[in-house]
Amino acid sequence: GQQLNQSPQSMFIQEGEDVSMNCTSSSIFNTWLWYKQDPGEGPVLLIALYKAGELTSNGRLTAQFGITRKDSFLNISASIPSDVGIYFCAGSQVLQGAQKLVFGQGTRLTINP
């Protein structure tokens, strides 16, 4: 099925480093979202982006909605141990009247203390 291309697939960084990950698609989405998933739990919404070109921050997290509406990036500044997890980008689209999300494959973030 349709998927978003998320990169990198995994990252190994030192605590305190900045992190950058991105997501691209061949399709246009009207909304881009970034989720974080910890082991054994469901995804938790971090940031939602609604307008092309929009840049939004949530604490140490910053995300941008690409001008073409086909891409987005997420930056995490000054990483801390609790940032460990899997980060998913998702594009929102309407299917048969339903609002559905199309997810990327995820970026697994590992932090060395």
Site residues (CB under 8 A) for another protein?
A: 1, 3-4, 6, 30-31, 33, 35, 40-45, 48, 50, 88, 90, 92, 95-106
Compare residues 6 and 79 and give the one whose CB is closer to another protein. 6
Q: Which is nearer to another protein, 24 or 31 (CB)?
A: 31
HSE-up of residue 22 (Cα within 13 Å, Cβ side): 9
Q: How far is CA 12 from the centre of its chain?
A: 17
Please report how close the Cβ of residue 31 comes to another protein at its closest, in angstroms.
4
Characterise 100 by phi-psi region: left (phi > 0), alpha (psi -120 to 50), beta (else).
Answer: beta
